Copies of this chain bind each other. A is one copy, B any other.
Amino acid sequence: MSLKPTIPKHEHSMNIENAQVQMRKGILEFCIMHIISRGEVYASDMLDELTSAKIMVVEGTLYPLLTRLKNSGLLDYKWVESSSGPPRKYYILTDMGKQFLEELQSTWGELSDSVNAIVKKTAQQSADAQPADDSSKSE
């Protein structure tokens, strides 16, 4: 028992990276369904688009998510031969998926509004607390 001196130890503390990861969670699903809604794409296409939109995502996250969406009947796919490698799964939204996307769209809009309202309220209160500051008038 005197061996095993260095137990890895879970810190459970918060660092900025961790928090940024958290913030991205759940948004992914919405973005992916959006991309698929534009037409048939396969996973690497999605990775490219998300990466260029600065939304980080890796294979280990994307593939299981696509599988979950497929199993829930929101996506469908077909195999397509590739001229340069193994066949690809091209995804499309099902009718259910389209409806689901619309609901996610509303959720995103509302969430975004709610968060911005909180941010705005903070800014407003800062302005109140420091009237010497040259900020625009509160309403």
- The residues of A with any CB-CB pair to B shorter than 8 Å are 12-16, 19-27, 29-31, 34-35, 37-39, 49, 53-55, 68-69, 71-72, 74, 100, 103-105, 107-108, 110-112, 114-115, 117-119, 121-122, 125-126
Known contacts A14-B74, A15-B72; is-contact A31 B115 (Cβ 8 Å): yes
Closest B residue to A53 using CB positions: B114
- 19 CB contacts below 8 A, A to B, read A16-B100, A16-B103, A19-B104, A20-B107, A22-B26, A22-B29, A23-B27, A23-B111, A26-B26, A27-B115, A30-B115, A34-B119, A34-B122, A35-B122, A38-B121, A39-B125, A53-B118, A55-B111, A55-B115
CA distance A70 to B80 in the complex (A): 52
Contacts beyond the supplied A22-B26, A24-B26, A53-B114: 13 A-B pairs with Cβ under 8 Å:
A12-B68, A19-B30, A22-B25, A23-B27, A27-B115, A31-B114, A34-B118, A34-B119, A34-B122, A38-B122, A54-B110, A55-B115, A105-B119
